[in-house]
């Protein structure tokens, strides 16, 4: 198999709230700490990437990787409405400068799930006002840092709220909780009983000092109006970025499953693809690239989605272990998207690193095949660089190429990190 080209971007990804620690002005920080919280544990210091970013990026560089996707935290930059924190901008300037010093291409995400707490009290992701607020934040960041940023993903997994809405609709009203439900969605969520969730939302109402029915974080089940708010926020950010620094390549990322049909399941695949992908395309026509994020597949039969049976190989997140999904999704997307594709997330949670090595090899074989077929894939960032805070599931999930002892914040690179670096340097064996 051919080597990846010299300019192919290959590396790993993180998200600020999941790795930096002490993101005290964010909505997630508040949600982690309330009574009846849905979060297994609070993020606290996370893996202290805020202070240890140079060590972490150096570990990536030492293996031969050349790309780092990370997010700038809105709640740090604008901790209270309209007040931007220059000290935090200087922090991210230092991160970006270190990337360039080490010849690492930075791919910056402006919003990766977490929002300032104040934004939620202003109506959150169902409010038209968020569009203007996000535009103001984007303008500030790009005005300050744009000369150091070659690629921007405006919003991570813009379609996630709709995916969550489908899951919640299916699960609400059932009794008991079932850990296998985690595998229904590509993000760390707990699905609890209706009673537990009602208790949680009442506690949130007290924490945010507002009617809990009006709390609209990015992970809330989203209405069609909320979908438009998210995509209009993307559009205003793209316009602002082009005004301030037209050299920056702008895109968005989408959570995409490899939807497969058994006989009779075709209509369900078509519906899922419409809801996950086609509904968003009209907003993306002026983008420079698309970020594809995939972890597994879903199989649909005559009665809809078929849950994996007891013999199916599963990941620690209860997804089906199916690395080939990535190549299939890229192939599907390429039929409707002719501009560059960056795989902005793809990975596996497992306690056995040999499974991660196997996953990476099989997934990247699919990427390589897509490139050989002429599909314009220009980068791949594995999720994640570090074992980190997987949202409501806490620190139990292990996606990382680097393990972290959180009592000492000591880093332990895994064999999978070196394996990914060797693919970048030398290609596949055989």
Q: Can you give the three-state secondary structure of 262-274, one letter per residue?
A: CCCCHHHHHHHHH
Give 173's pLDDT tier (boundaries 50, 70, 90).
very low
Q: What is the DSSP string of 237-252?
A: HHHHHHHH-TTSEEEE
47 domain residue, yes or no: yes
**Using one digit for the tens of pLDDT, what is the confidence trace for 39-83?**
999 999 999 999 999 999 999 999 999 999 999 999 999 999 999
**Using one digit for the tens of pLDDT, what is the confidence trace for 7-43?**
999 999 999 999 999 999 999 999 999 999 999 999 9
**Using one digit for the tens of pLDDT, what is the confidence trace for 367-384?**
999 999 999 999 999 999
Residue 193 pLDDT greater than 90, yes or no: no
Give 98's pLDDT tier (boundaries 50, 70, 90).
very high
CATH value at residue 112: 3.20.20.80
Do 241 and 250 touch, CB atoms closer than 8 A? yes
DSSP state of 401: S
DSSP state of 210: S
- How many whole angstroms separate alpha carbon 19 and alpha carbon 12? 13
Helix axes 160-171, 224-244, angle to 10 degrees: 160
Q: What is the DSSP string of 318-387?
A: S-B--TTHHHHHHHHHHTT--S-EEEEE-----S-HHHHHHHHHHHHHHHHHHHHTT--EEEEEEE-SB-
151 domain residue, yes or no: yes
Share of the chain above pLDDT 70, in %: 95
Residue 152 pLDDT greater than 80, yes or no: yes
Q: Copy the structure tokens of residue 2.
A: 């051919």
Domain around 210: 9-426
Work out how many domains the chain is built from and give that number: 1
4 domain residue, yes or no: no
Residue 188 pLDDT greater than 80, yes or no: no
pLDDT at 198: 86
- How many whole angstroms separate alpha carbon 366 and alpha carbon 360? 10
Please tell me whether residue 400 adopts helix, strand or coil conformation: coil
Residue 286 pLDDT greater than 70, yes or no: yes
3 domain residue, yes or no: no
Average of per-residue pLDDT across 356-363:
98
- How many whole angstroms separate alpha carbon 297 and alpha carbon 308? 10
**Nearest CA-CA partner of 142 in 49, 20, 14, 239:** 239
Do 320 and 296 touch, CB atoms closer than 8 A? yes
Please state, rounded to an integer, the average pLDDT across all residues of the chain.
94
Strand partners, 111: 155
Give 197's pLDDT tier (boundaries 50, 70, 90).
confident
To which residue do tokens 């879903």 refer? 298
198 domain residue, yes or no: yes
1 domain residue, yes or no: no
pLDDT at 163: 85
CB-side exposure of 248: number of CA atoms within 13 Å? Answer: 29
Instruction: Please tell me the least confidently modeled range out of 58-72, 178-192, 351-365.
Output: 178-192
pLDDT at 176: 43
Residue 430 pLDDT greater than 80, yes or no: no
pLDDT at 191: 65
Rounded to 10 degrees, the C-alpha dihedral 164/169/174/177 comes to 0
- How many whole angstroms separate alpha carbon 252 and alpha carbon 178? 32
214 domain residue, yes or no: yes
pLDDT at 164: 85
Residue 97 pLDDT greater than 90, yes or no: yes
Do 248 and 274 touch, CB atoms closer than 8 A? no
Please tell me whether residue 196 adopts helix, strand or coil conformation: helix
Residue 174 pLDDT greater than 60, yes or no: no
Share of the chain above pLDDT 90, in %: 89
**Using one digit for the tens of pLDDT, what is the confidence trace for 405-421?**
999 999 999 999 999 99
pLDDT at 2: 76
298 domain residue, yes or no: yes
CB atoms within 10 A of CB 355: 17
For the entire predicted model, the pTM comes to 0.96
pLDDT at 18: 98
Residue 144 pLDDT greater than 70, yes or no: yes
pLDDT at 261: 98
Give 177's pLDDT tier (boundaries 50, 70, 90).
very low
Which H or E run includes 191?
A: none
Strands (DSSP E) contained in 134-186 are 151-155
**Using one digit for the tens of pLDDT, what is the confidence trace for 199-228?**
998 999 999 999 999 999 999 989 999 999
DSSP state of 192: -
């Amino acid at each position: 198999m051919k080597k990846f080209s010299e300019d192919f971007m290959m590396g790993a990804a993180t998200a600020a709230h999941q790795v930096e620690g002490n993101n005290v002005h964010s909505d997630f920080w508040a949600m982690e700490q309330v009574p009846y919280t849905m979060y297994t544990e609070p993020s606290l210091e996370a893996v202290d990437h805020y202070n240890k970013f140079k060590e972490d990026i150096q570990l990536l560089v030492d293996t031969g990787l050349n790309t780092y996707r990370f997010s700038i935290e809105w709640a740090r930059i604008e901790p209270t409405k309209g007040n931007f924190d220059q000290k935090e901008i200087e922090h991210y300037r230092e991160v970006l400068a270190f990337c360039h010093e080490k010849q690492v291409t930075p791919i910056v995400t402006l919003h990766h799930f977490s929002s300032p707490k104040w934004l939620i009290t202003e109506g959150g992701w169902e409010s038209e006002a968020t569009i203007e607020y996000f535009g103001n934040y984007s303008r500030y960041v790009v005005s300050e840092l744009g000369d150091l940023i070659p690629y921007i993903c405006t919003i991570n997994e813009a379609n996630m709220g709709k995916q969550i809405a489908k899951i919640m609709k299916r699960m609400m009203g059932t009794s008991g909780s079932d850990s296998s439900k985690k595998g229904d969605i590509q993000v760390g969520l707990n699905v609890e009983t209706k009673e537990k969730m009602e208790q949680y939302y009442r506690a949130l109402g007290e924490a945010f000092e507002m009617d809990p029915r009006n709390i609209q974080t990015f992970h809330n089940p989203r209405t069609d109006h909320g979908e438009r708010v998210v995509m209009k926020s993307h559009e205003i950010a793209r316009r602002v970025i082009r005004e301030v620094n037209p050299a920056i390549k702008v895109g968005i990322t989408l959570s995409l499953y490899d939807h497969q049909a058994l006989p009779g399941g075709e209509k369900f695949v078509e519906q899922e693809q419409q809801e996950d992908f086609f509904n968003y395309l009209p907003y993306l026509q002026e983008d420079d690239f698309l970020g594809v994020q995939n972890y597994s597949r879903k199989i649909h039969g005559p009665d809809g989605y078929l849950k994996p049976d007891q013999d199916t190989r599963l990941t620690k997140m209860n997804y089906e272990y199916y690395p080939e999904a990535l190549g299939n999704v890229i192939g599907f997307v390429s039929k409707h998207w002719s501009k560059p594709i960056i795989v902005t997330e793809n990975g596996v949670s497992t306690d056995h690193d040999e499974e991660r090595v196997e996953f990476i090899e099989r997934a990247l074989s699919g990427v390589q095949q897509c490139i050989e077929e002429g599909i314009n894939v220009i980068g791949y960032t594995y999720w994640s660089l570090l074992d980190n805070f997987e949202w409501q599931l806490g620190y139990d999930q292990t996606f990382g190429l680097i393990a972290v002892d959180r009592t000492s914040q000591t880093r332990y690179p895994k064999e999978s990190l070196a394996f990914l670096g060797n693919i970048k340097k030398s290609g596949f064996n055989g």
